[in-house]
Amino acid sequence: MIFLTGATGHFGKATIEFLLIKGIPAANIIGLARNEEKAKELEKYGIQFRIGDYDDVTSLIKAFQGIEKLLFISGSDVFKRDAQHVNVIDAAMEAKVPHIIYTSFFRKDDSPDSPIATIANTHINTERNIIKSGITYTFLQNALYAEAMPMFLGPDVTHTGIYTPAGDGKAPFTTRKDLAEAAANVLIQGGHENKYYKTVNIENYSFHEIARLLTELTGKEIHYMSPDPSEYKETLKKAGMPDASIAGVTGFIEGIRVGYFEADHSDLEILLGRKPAGMKEILKAYI
Ligand code: NAP
């Protein structure tokens, strides 16, 4: 029995779709939903659901009974998820879950003071806590989603060009769909026990390269300008962005600038059995 947390989110739904396409019977898939209303979103897949909340360890213990593989999709509340992830691991131990596949985060190293420490440290600690639990694990160290690129490119890149302080930094942006298919394959196949995978694109892309590809695809000259980070923060503030959001966005961009997301290896092609979508394909869909 395969169980997914985050089943009602983008990653969870995409993974469920791949599991079904690949022939896993709907009756063998269970999704976690926070409440009955949310569970309705899973009806169209014909899968089972159980109610539970990352904030409520008792609900998770109940939900995890009798499952074989748990796809633990990281929580979306960056301020609460440290404690929530501890709840998920505690519940998995209590319910004797044999194998956790965790959607982690690709990073260059585990230094606790990275530019995006709030995000990174949760994943680093969650990986460590899962190992400590003694439960068999597989860590999918997912790249930055290609779908998150508008956060860096701005809403109207074909008119304004790219204005983001990432310098010459590069990142292996990857579509969430490819990452979800890799997760589905890991759930279906054997041989992934106690492994870390760098689930990232096979190439790293700079914003120079992205501007060049956008120019090629649109036939319009798209420029990339990398301002001073403090000027950029000021611009976002003047545009009315809340301080917490500015800190989040600029943390990611600083991470790209200093190479924190640049990968020297990728396991994704092997997990997918094909090449992941490259930047040209990603940008075509974006435009
Ligand atoms: P998403 O669409 O926001 O889905 C998040 C899922 O987590 C939803 O199913 C949500 O349930 C569930 N959830 C949140 N809080 C919960 C709680 N207290 N108890 C139980 N379930 C809870 O995010 P996504 O696009 O699928 O991405 C999956 C995860 O990847 C995110 O949560 C985040 O950790 C991470 N992420 C990675 C990147 C990247 O670039 N690599 C970018 C964004 C996010 P509801 O439907 O009830 O809200």
Indicate the pTM of the whole model: 0.97
How far, in Å, is the centroid of ligand 1 from the Cα of 285? 22
Between 279-286 and 207-218, two packed helices, what is the crossing angle to 10 degrees?
60
Residues sharing a CB contact under 8 Å with residue 34, sequence separation 6 or more, in sequence order: 8, 51, 52, 53
Residue with tokens 């000021």: 234
What is the C-alpha separation between 81 and 74, in angstroms, rounded?
A: 8
Residue of 15, 34, 54, 76 best suited for mutating to test ligand 1, as the one with most atoms within 8 Å of CB: 76
pLDDT above 70 covers a percentage of the chain that reads 100
Mean per-residue pLDDT, 94-103: 98
Residue 72 pLDDT exceeds 90? yes
Residue 8 Cβ < 6 Å to ligand 1: yes
What residue owns the CA closest to ligand 1's atom 20? Answer: 53
Mean per-residue pLDDT, 73-95: 97
Tens-digit pLDDT profile for residues 119-142? 999 999 999 999 999 999 999 999
56 to 87, 88, 89, 98: CA distances (angstroms)? 7, 9, 12, 21
pLDDT range class, residue 54, cuts 50, 70, 90? very high
> Across all residues in the chain, what is the average pLDDT?
96
What residue owns the CA closest to ligand 1's atom 28? Answer: 11
Residue-level pLDDT at 269: 98
Tens-digit pLDDT profile for residues 202-255? 999 999 999 999 999 999 999 999 999 999 999 999 999 999 999 999 999 999
Say how many C-beta atoms besides its own lie within 10 A of residue 251's C-beta.
17
How far, in Å, is the centroid of ligand 1 from the Cα of 225? 32
Residue-level pLDDT at 217: 96
Of the candidates 103, 276, 75, 279, the one whose C-alpha atom is nearest the C-alpha of residue 187 is 103
What is the C-alpha separation between 275 and 172, in angstroms, rounded?
A: 13
**Rama region for 280: left / alpha / beta (φ>0; ψ in -120 to 50; rest):** alpha
Residue 102 pLDDT exceeds 90? yes
Q: Which atom of ligand 1 is nearest to the CA of 84?
A: 18
What is the C-alpha separation between 120 and 186, in angstroms, rounded?
A: 23
How far, in Å, is the centroid of ligand 1 from the Cα of 73? 7
